[in-house]
Copies of this chain bind each other. A is one copy, B any other.
Amino acid sequence: MTNPIAQADLIKTFRRVLPAHSILSDAEQTRPYECDSLTTYRQLPRLVVLPENEEQILAVLAICKQYQIPIVPRGAGTGLSGGAMPVPDGIVLSTAKLKKIIRIYPTERVAVVQPGVRNVSVSEAAAHAGLFYAPDPSSQLACTIGGNVAENAGGVHCLKYGLTVHNVLGARVLTIDGEILELGGDALDAPGLDLLSLMIGSEGMLGIVTEITLRLLPKPNVAQVILASFDSVEAAGQAVANIIAAGLIPAALEMMDQTSVRMVEPFVQAGYDQDAKAILLCEADGSSVQVQEEIALMSGVLNDSGARQLRVSYSEQERLKYWSGRKNAFPAAGRISPDYYCVDGTIPRQHLARVLLAITEMEKKYELLCANVFHAGDGNLHPLILFDANQAGAFHKAEMFGAEILELCVELGGSITGEHGVGVEKLNSMCVQFTPEEMQTLLDLKSAFDPKQLLNPGKGIPSLNRCAEYGRMNVSGGMLKFPHLERF
C-alpha cells in the first residue's frame, strides 16, 4: 500500500535532489501543466518537477517509487490525446530542460539528442551536413523528440519516410527501478527482443527516455507539389489508389474535403479550388531529374483520374503557398468554430471515399459539421469535428461522433490512432480495437516494466473492467471486441 507523505515533506524531499527552480508547487505555476493540447481534459498535478540531468531524474524516480507517487512524463505538451494530462496525487516530470543536441554524426547519418530538443531543431542542426530528420508532425516547431518518441509521432512525409519508430535507432531509458537501459544504437540491428520499438509509442508508461539516437536522411535537393481538385470525393479517393497502383511513392499525399477547403481558403489564400468536392496535394522530392520525372508521372495519373484542375508548384514560394492551406487547417477550424475536436484514425486507403461519405451521414446524425483533412497516402484520417463547448452536451456529442468514426475505422480493418496516441482520450476506443486477451497482454507487458503502476497510470491501456463497462453503456456500431458483453 501507499505510504502517504505530506505535501511539505514531499517538496522538502525533492529539494534535496533538485534545484529549487526545478520544483513547481503553487497552482499558478502548475496550472500550465494541467492539460496538453487536448484541452478538454484537465487535472492539476500535485507538483511539477523539471530535472536538468539523468542523475536528477533517477533521484525523482527513486523518491516516487519510495512514496508510491504516480509520475506523468511530459514533453512540450503538444500531444492531442491527453497523454500528458496529470493524474490526481501524481507529479508531472517535464523533460523540457534536457535540450542538448549531443552530437550530429554525418558519416553514420545519426543525431544523438536529449528528449527536450524540439523536432525542428534536429533538422536545423543537421542542415550543414546536407541531412534532415524526416518525421514532421504539424507541431514540429514546438513539439520535442521525447514527446515524438512517446507518441510515435508522424507527419505529412511519413508515407515516404516512415513514422518515428522507423527513424529512431536507439534510446537510453531509465526504468522506475532506477535501471538504465541502452536500447539499439548506431548499428543496423540490435540483438534480443526489440525493446526499442516497444518503447516508441509507449506514452511514458514504461520508462523515462533520456537520450535518443535519430536516423538522419540526405536532404532532397528539390521538392515540388501538385495541387489537384476533383468533382467528387470518390474521384479523389480513386486518384489516390491510382497513384499507389502506378508504383509511385509520393513524399506526401494529402486530401482535403470541400468543407476544409472553404474553411481554410478565405483565411490563407492558398489558391485552392473552392468549387471542388475534394483536393489533393501530391509532393515529390529528391534530385531534380527524379522530381521532374515523378511530377510528370503523377500529373498523368491525376489527369487520367479525372482531375478538374491541376497546378504544379514551380518555386519554393509557390510550393509553400500550396501547403499553407493544409498546414493551417487546424487554426482555420478555430477561426470559424468556437471549438473543434480532431479525430485521428487509420483505414486501408481503398476505403477513403466510403469513410468520407459515412462521415457526411454522421454529420446529420450528430448535427455537427466535420471538416476532413487526411494523410490520404497512408490512410490516416484527421476529421475535425466543429462544435461549441458552451452549448450543453455539445462536447459529448462531438466525442460520440469521433468514437463512431473510429469504430468505422476498426470495422474497415484500420485502427483508432495513426499518430496521436491513446492517452486518456481513446481508452474506450481501445476496447473496440482489441480483444480482452490482447488487452491483457498489453497490461502484462506494462507490469513487467512497472509492476506498481506508477508511470503514467490510467493512460494508454484501459482496464478490462473499463472495457466491460463501456461495452454495456456505449457501443454504437457493434464492433466491440469483447463478445461476451451485451450491446445496446
A223 CB → nearest B CB, Å: 15
* Residues 117-133 (chain A) with a chain B CB within 8 angstroms: 129-131
In the complex, chain B residues whose CB is within 8 Å of the CB of A249: 217-218
Of A7-15, A59-67, A432-440, the one with at least 4 CB within 8 A of chain B: A432-440
Query: CA of A197 to CA of B193 in the docked complex: distance in angstroms?
Result: 9
* Residues 378-436 (chain A) with a chain B CB within 8 angstroms: 378-380, 409, 413-419, 421-422, 426, 429-430, 433-435
Known contacts A188-B163, A244-B109; decide if A447 and B445 are in contact (CB<8 Å): no
Is A287 part of the contact surface with B, judged by Cβ < 8 Å? yes
A481 CB → nearest B CB, Å: 9
Whether A417 and B189, one on each chain, are in contact in the complex, defined by CB atoms closer than 8 angstroms, is: yes
Of A29-37, A311-319, A341-349, A358-366, the one with at least 4 CB within 8 A of chain B: A341-349
Known contacts A107-B244, A289-B289, A290-B293; decide if A200 and B190 are in contact (CB<8 Å): no
CB < 8 Å neighbour of A380 from B181, B188, B433: B188
Smallest Cβ-Cβ distance to A184: which chain B residue: B415
Query: CA of A461 to CA of B444 in the docked complex: distance in angstroms?
Result: 19
Query: CA of A348 to CA of B185 in the docked complex: distance in angstroms?
Result: 9
In the complex, chain B residues whose CB is within 8 Å of the CB of A202: 193-194
* Residues 236-257 (chain A) with a chain B CB within 8 angstroms: 241, 244-245, 247-249
Query: CA of A380 to CA of B190 in the docked complex: distance in angstroms?
Result: 11
Is A448 part of the contact surface with B, judged by Cβ < 8 Å? yes
Known contacts A107-B241, A193-B446, A248-B218; decide if A441 and B175 are in contact (CB<8 Å): yes
Query: CA of A433 to CA of B195 in the docked complex: distance in angstroms?
Result: 14
Is A339 part of the contact surface with B, judged by Cβ < 8 Å? no
Known contacts A218-B249, A350-B108; decide if A194 and B188 are in contact (CB<8 Å): no
Q: Hey, what's the 0/1 contact readout for A152-195 against B, CB within 8 Å counting as 1?
A: 10100010001101100000000100011110011111111111
In the complex, chain B residues whose CB is within 8 Å of the CB of A195: 198, 441-442, 445
Known contacts A247-B218, A448-B448; decide if A198 and B188 are in contact (CB<8 Å): no
Smallest Cβ-Cβ distance to A177: which chain B residue: B437
Query: CA of A198 to CA of B346 in the docked complex: distance in angstroms?
Result: 22
Interface size class of A (residues with CB under 8 A): 35 or more
In the complex, chain B residues whose CB is within 8 Å of the CB of A107: 241, 244-245, 348-350
Smallest Cβ-Cβ distance to A206: which chain B residue: B193
Whether A413 and B186, one on each chain, are in contact in the complex, defined by CB atoms closer than 8 angstroms, is: yes
Is A327 part of the contact surface with B, judged by Cβ < 8 Å? no
In the complex, chain B residues whose CB is within 8 Å of the CB of A414: 185-187
In the complex, chain B residues whose CB is within 8 Å of the CB of A421: 191
Query: CA of A476 to CA of B431 in the docked complex: distance in angstroms?
Result: 52
Chain A residues within CB distance 8 Å of chain B: 106-109, 129-131, 152, 154, 158, 162-163, 165-166, 175, 179-182, 185-195, 197-198, 200-202, 205-206, 217-219, 241, 244-245, 247-249, 286-287, 289-290, 293, 346-350, 375, 378-380, 409, 413-419, 421-422, 426, 429-430, 433-435, 437-438, 440-442, 444-449, 460-461
Please list 9 pairs of residues, one from A and one from B, whose beta carbons are closer than 8 Å in the complex, sorted by A's number. A163-B188, A165-B194, A181-B438, A185-B413, A186-B379, A191-B433, A193-B202, A219-B247, A290-B290
Closest 6 interchain pairs by CB?
A197-B197, A218-B247, A179-B437, A187-B346, A187-B414, A444-B448
